Chain A
Amino acid sequence: MPDGAQPVLEVQDLKTVFKVRGGEVHAVNNVSFDLKAGELLGVVGESGSGKSVTMMSLLGLLPSPPADVRGGTVTFEGQDLLQIKPDKLRAVRGGQIGFVFQDPMTSLNPVYNVGMQIMEPLRKHMGLGKRDAVRRATELLELVGIPDAERRLKDYPHQFSGGMRQRVMIAIALACDPKVLIADEPTTALDVTIQAQILELMKDLQERLGMAVIWITHDLGVVAGIADRVLVMYGGQIVEQAPTRELFKNPQHPYTRALLKTVPSVRGAREDRLAIIEGQPPILGAQPSACPFRDRCDVAFDRCAAENPPRFDVGAGHDAACFYDANTGAPRNV
C-alpha cells in the first residue's frame, strides 16, 4: 500500500436507519473511514454488523423506504455522493465505482447473454459503439481468465459455473476502469478451491490496474491473505481499524480478539476446546448510547454501559473503539 497516498473515497459519520414495523433499526452508526488510492481495504464483521449496508448506502443502492441514510458525507472526486443528483450518481455507479455482489447466481440476469450484460455499462457509461463494446467485452473476459472469451460472450449465465459467473461479475464491475471496486462477499458462495482462484485473480488485477478495492467478508482468513488494511465492524459501527499485519499481531478490541480465537486453523496449533463468544449480536432499535459489545465482553466495566466509546488511536495507524486498553490491561485514562 502506498503510504500517505491521497484518499480516493472519504466517508464521514455515515448513519443509515431502516424503518421497520414498530420502530427502527439503526444499521449503520457514525461510520467514518477513508480508502487510499491503490489500497485493498478489508471490512470484516458478522451478518448484521452493517458492513454491506454501509457500502450500499454510499452508492444509494438501498431502497428508500425502508432505508433512510440520515447523515454523513461521502466524498469521492470532490463531490458528496449523498448530495448529488440521481443521474450523476448513476454515472459514478458502475462507471468510476464498480460493485461485485455476493451471489453471482442472483445478480446476473438469466435472460440476457453474458456479452449483453458486460456491454451494458460500456455503452451506457463510455458511449462505445457496438463493435468497440464487443471488442472490449472480449478483452475483459480474457482479463478475468475465462477461456475462449469471444464465443462465451454469447452464452447465458446458467451455462457458467459458480466461479466463472463470479468472474463475469468482476468483468462487469471492471468494465469502465473504475477507480474504486467494492466487492461484497464475492467468494462466500464459492468453494474453497474456487475461492482461491478468485482471490488470486483479484490480487493480480488490483496490482495491474492500480485501483482501490473494498473487500467485504466475514472470513478472517481471506482478509489476512488479501487486505492491506482492515476495518472490523460490530453493531453498525467500526470497532477497530489497523493495517492487516498489525491487526492480527496486536488486536486491541475485545471483539476482534475473541473472533480471532473462535476461528480454528487448519495449520496452526489445535485447541482442545473452541473459545466462544457468549450471547448474540445486538439488534439496535435506537442510536446506541453504550458500547454495543458490552454484554458479550469479558472486560466490560461501568463506563461501557454509560458511553459509546470513540475510536482511540493506539499508534501504528491502528485505532480501537474500546475504553479498555489491551496493552496495559486497565481502563484508559481519557
Chain B
Amino acid sequence: MFDAPKTDTKLVEVRDLKMHFPIYTGVFRRHTGDVKAVDGVSFDIYEGETLGLVGESGCGKSTCGRAVLRLYDITDGSVKIDGTEIGRTPQGALRGKRPTMQMVFQDPQASLNPRMTVQAIIQEPLDEHTSLSKEEKREKVLALMDQVGLNRKFAGRYPHAFSGGQRQRIGIARALALNPKFIVCDEPIAALDVSIQAQVVNLLEDLQQEFGLTYLFISHDLSMVRHIATRVAVMYLGKIVELAPREALYAAPLHPYTKALLSAVPEPDPDLHDTMERTILTGDVPSPSNPPKGCNFCTRCPAVMDICKRQEPEYREVLPGQFVACHHYNDITDADAIRAASEAQ
C-alpha cells in the first residue's frame, strides 16, 4: 500500500473486548462453560489506516471483527467507533450508526442472495438507509459497479453468473454503497485463486485511497497482510499476543508465537527457503473453552518459562507502537535490552 495518509485520529477504539459463547449441556441445558472466542482484546485503528488481524483458524479473529461491528451482543468491553460508544447500544438503536461501518465477508458465494440480481443486492443498503428516488438509486448502483470494476451491463444478472473474484467485487460494492468510513474485511480473498487475489487486494487499496477508508483486514495469509496492512495484530486463542507497525512486526517480531508463525510460512524462493531458520511448533491450539493456565501459548511455546504456566503475561507497549504480551519482556523498557531478550529465546 501507499502507506496511506495516516492521521492521528482514532476512528476505532476497542478496550478489553470479550465475546464468550455459552455452552449448555445435559437434559436441563445447564450453563456449564464458555467458549472464550475473544477474551479481552484492546486496540485502536487510526483513520485511513489498515489494521491487519492475523492468526490461525479458531483464534477468534473473525469473531473479533464481527464483535467490533456489533454483529454480536458482546460479553464485555467497550467499542468506540467514530467517537460513539456502541459496546452496549441496543441493536435497534445501532441502525442509524450502521452506514458508517460495513463488512465484506469471506465467502462471496454464501454472502450474496442467489435470488437477487446484482442491482438489487447493491441497492439493498440504499433502500434501508436512504430516501433516494428509484432513479437516483439506480444511478448510484451503476456508479458503484464502475468503481469496483464490474461491467454495468451485468446489473440485471444473478450472482451465479459471476466468477469468485467478481462476486467479491459485488460484495465490496454493497459495502461501499452507504459511503462508510470503516470496513471490516473478513478474509475477503481466502476463497479466491492466487491470480484473482491480487486483483481484489489492489481494488481494496485503490478504494481506500479514493474514499479515505479505514480497514480492519482479517486474514490468515501473512504475506498478503504484509502487503496491505499499516499495522498488524497477531491473535492466539482469543487474545492479541503482539501488535506492531508492519515493518517492525515482519522484520523483528518479539512474541515467540509471531516468530513461529512467520517462520512457518512457505517461501516461494528455494534459496531463501534453504537458508532460513524455521521454528516448527509441536501440538495443536488448545480449546478456547478450556484455555491453559497462565499464558495461552505456554503449551506450545519453544521458549516457555516457569512463570508462563502460572501467570498471565501483561499486554503492554514495550517499544513505541509495539505491543506484546510475553513474560520475556517483563520489566524491560529500553530497545537494546528488548532486542537481546528477543534473541535470547
Q: Which residues on A are within 8 Å of B, measured CB to CB?
A: 46-47, 161, 163-164, 191-197, 199-200, 218-225, 244-245, 248, 258-260, 262-268, 270-278, 280-281
Contacts and interface: CB of A to CB of B under 8 A. Distances in A.
B267 A267 contact: yes
B194 A262 contact: yes
A131 B2 CA distance: 65
Given A192-B56, A280-B163, A272 B2 contact: yes
6 contacts: A197-B281, A222-B266, A224-B266, A260-B268, A274-B201, A281-B193
Contact of B195 (A248, A264, A265, A276): A276
Contacts of B284: 161, 163-164, 194
Contact of B268 (A46, A195, A199, A263): A263
B224 interface: yes
B223 interface: yes
A176 B284 CA distance: 28
Interface of B: 1-2, 56-57, 163, 165, 193-199, 201-202, 205, 220, 222-224, 226-227, 250, 260-273, 276, 278, 280-282, 284-285
A21 B270 CA distance: 44
B230 to A, nearest CB: 13
A191 B71 CA distance: 26
A158 B272 CA distance: 38
A224 B267 CA distance: 7
B208 to A, nearest CB: 13
Contact of B194 (A191, A194, A225, A259): A259
A243 to B, nearest CB: 10
Nearest to A248: B270
B268 to A, nearest CB: 4
A262 B271 CA distance: 19
B7 to A, nearest CB: 20
Contact of B266 (A164, A199, A264, A276): A199
Contacts of B263: 196
B270 A191 contact: no
A265 B264 contact: no
A194 B220 CA distance: 13
Contacts of A281: 193, 195
Contacts of A273: 202, 205
Contact of B198 (A163, A199, A223, A275): A275
A192 B195 contact: no
Contacts of B285: 191
Contacts of A260: 268
Nearest to A161: B284
A268 B276 CA distance: 12
A261 to B, nearest CB: 9
B181 to A, nearest CB: 24
Contact of B269 (A194, A262, A268, A280): A268
Contacts of B224: 264
Given A164-B284, A193-B281, A224-B267, A267 B272 contact: yes
A288 B39 CA distance: 55
A214 B263 CA distance: 25
Given A221-B268, A266-B226, A46 B193 contact: yes
Given A191-B220, A248-B271, 8 more contacts: A196-B278, A196-B280, A224-B269, A262-B195, A266-B267, A273-B205, A275-B198, A281-B195
Contacts of A191: 56-57, 220, 285
Nearest to A222: B266
Contact of A263 (B194, B196, B205, B272): B194
A219 B262 CA distance: 16
User: Which has the most chain A C-beta neighbours within 10 Å: B201, B270, B281?
Assistant: B270
Contacts of A258: 195
B220 A248 contact: no
B227 A270 contact: yes
A264 B202 contact: no
B304 to A, nearest CB: 16
A258 B198 CA distance: 11
Contacts of A224: 266-270, 273
Nearest to A187: B266
B163 A193 contact: no
B34 to A, nearest CB: 21
A167 B220 CA distance: 22
A164 B285 CA distance: 12
Contacts of B276: 267
A189 to B, nearest CB: 9
A245 B280 contact: no
A100 B344 CA distance: 40
A158 to B, nearest CB: 14
Given A244-B270, A273-B202, A192 B250 contact: no
Contact of B261 (A193, A197, A270): A193
A104 B280 CA distance: 21
A221 B268 CA distance: 4
Nearest to A272: B2
B223 A225 contact: no
A222 B194 CA distance: 14
A266 B1 CA distance: 15
Contacts of A220: 194, 268
Given A193-B281, A266-B226, A280-B165, A221 B194 contact: no
Contacts of A219: 266
A274 B261 contact: no
Contacts of A262: 194-195, 197-198
A196 B264 contact: yes
B193 A265 contact: no
A219 B268 CA distance: 8
B223 A265 contact: yes
Contacts of A221: 265-268, 273
A192 B262 CA distance: 9
Nearest to B247: A270
A193 B264 contact: yes
A277 B202 CA distance: 12
Contact of A248 (B56, B196, B262, B268): B268
Contacts of B268: 220-221, 223-224, 248, 260, 263, 265
